[in-house]
Chains A and B, each alone.
Chain A
Amino acid sequence: MGKRLRYSLVTFLAVLGPGFITAMVDNDAGGIYTYSQAGARWGYLPLWTLLPITILLIVTQEMCSRMGAVTGKGLSDLIREEFGLRTTFVMMAALILLNLTNIMADFAGIASSLELFGITRYITVPLGGVAVWLLAVRGTYRSVEKIFLLACIVYVAYIISGILVRPNWKQAAIDSVRPVMMLQGEYITMVIGMVGTSIAPWMQFYQQAATVEKGVGPKEVRAARVEVILSCILTSVIAFFIVVACAGAIYNVKPRDIADAADAALGLKPFGQYTYILFAAGLLNASLFAVCILPLSTSYTVCEGLGFESGVNRRFQEAPIFYWLFTLLIVVGAGSVLIPGFPLVKMILLSQVLNGAVLPFVLIFMTLLINKSKLMHEWTNSRFYNIVAWTSVALMIGIVLALVALSVQQMTRGS
């Protein structure tokens, strides 16, 4: 028994990484902003979305982890092999666009969190960009990754902040299990944003690639599953406390829209100096972590899917497209934050909604792929999985269509 436990623990530690990192980066600057905004504007009301989001998150991420472990190939490779070049190309183009807005949001997160400490973005953002580029190209990222993982303890900050503001726990508990749907444009946008930021297309690509790179094999599918489930629950717990913190600190005082994640931190200020610093530090770590991972993983995914040479262990001449894409993502992502008057918040909101809109397609591909016994052998989806997967696809499409209908209605009424 003792030996068995130790064995499972060793297997678990061996697969630890892909799911955990994905989950941590999931709560990046864009995520923190969306959760804060939801709490500040709607109070405890949006909490009910977290339960279905967690289930959806577990199902999607576990599917990727399983596909990576069994096939040893990335998601973009599989899409290319099974659905052809055109589909892959469209998918990759959408992914670049999406991830670029995510990168912008994260550079903005670096800027605004450090501005809270009085350092101007004209220093922090260029410095951050150069650092990220060097870390990746010099191949030193691996060693830094451990520091980031350790720094994830900062996320406890959100839990503490959430408790420090003394929210209405009873209300929070009720709203966590009571779904409220309002046919109101802003509300639906918020719901899509919540889903879009929690379950973003980049995560599936990243999770699968990381699982493959980690060398997780079919034998470790179970251990990897446990890792995914725990990581996803952790993500949602953090999201819960961010919503609660902002609901307690901002909504309870006066419901309003917040300008960015740093604004949310400011809103926490009346509840103590530490709450404020903790929130800001969490934002900084999340943004830095995400900015290190997103440009690199985007370039990998795109180049692998389209069949270009990729990887930081290749020289620039060998993998020019990889390096150009990577550099461009950082330059544009960081640069846009420095342009005065750039509609950053709009971009971030747009990216969350776009995430939500592209997600159904990624899910459709994933569910089709994972049910091919040619690829997955005995590890295809169970019926329960398929029901959850297809229901979420239908649900996501429904929500997106509702959003489109609403904006059309608003436009026609406006004219």
Chain B
Amino acid sequence: MTEHVRDDADLVSRAAAGDMGAFESLVRAHSDAVYAHAYRFFGDASAAQDATQEVWIKVFRSLEGFGSRAAFTTWLFRVTRNVCLDMLRSGRRAATPVDPVELHGIANDDTAGEAAGSVDLETAMRALSPEDREAFNAVALFGLPYAEAGSVLGVPAGTVKSRVFRARRALTTLLCLDAKGGA
């Protein structure tokens, strides 16, 4: 992780100086995280692609002002989250619809088993609350520490810890991972 952060800082510094190769390295290294977050936010590949492009354009325009005052991934997650929210607010895109049946399964451990094993990861993601999902994405996709994720989400690190744990429990149950390889 530390090596990653150092690499990012170097690439950001070079990209801010006009090195397009360095900027492309950043894009290649982090586009999957940006795209996956947007995909889970909108539940739609086309919207995720638009959001990803918009994120990188914003990052490119703001590189000089970034100044490495935070970890690049923290900033990138903040930009990604804001772009998705802006697209939603502007009415250009709709958010992922939440499946109430799966929500019921998540909400009640006794019934979670009924849905278990019949869904893939992305379908299971749709059963999470938006708050749990974005906390999980911040940590699992962008690799943010709880405190950094909390600073972006506007909640204490302890809340991030709870949300991530709740998301993981729901996902492992829905995906039946305990039966597949958990033992």
Specify whether A and B are partners.
Answer: no
Q: Which residues of A are in contact with B by a Cβ distance under 8 Å? A: none
